[in-house]
Amino acid sequence: MARLSEAETQHRVHLKTQAYLKLSKLRYNAVMEQVYCNTARNLTQEHLMSIADCGFIERSENILITRATGCGKSYLACAIGRQACSFGLKTPI
């Protein structure tokens, strides 16, 4: 009975995450694990991990992503949005 209950809970969480992803209309299918960190992009692994926990959302903080054209700002934003959806947070357009 416990396994059945756990499976139902996981299924509901999965459906909720999928619904949030559909509503967010993210441009790219990006995940945090695929974001490339280097000094030229001024993005370190520590910065990325501090953003990946989505604690800034609960603290009502904003993230401003600036850099040159073509460096992956939109991809990073989509990865952050997907991460927030996986934590059960809505990401409006």
pLDDT band at 6 (very low <50, low <70, confident <90, very high): very high
**pLDDT (0 to 100) of residue 93:** 61
Q: What is the pTM of this model?
A: 0.82
Query: How far apart (Å, rounded) are the C-alpha atoms in residues 82 and 18?
Result: 10
Count up the domains in the chain and report the number.
1
Chain segment 55-65, per-residue pLDDT in tens: 999 899 999 98
Instruction: Look at residue 93 and tell me if it is in a domain.
Output: no
Instruction: Look at residue 92 and tell me if it is in a domain.
Output: no
Query: How far apart (Å, rounded) are the C-alpha atoms in residues 38 and 13?
Result: 34
Chain segment 18-57, per-residue pLDDT in tens: 999 898 999 999 999 999 888 878 888 998 999 999 999 9
Per DSSP, the three-state class of 58 is: helix
**Residue 24: which domain range?**
2-86
Instruction: Look at residue 40 and tell me if it is in a domain.
Output: yes
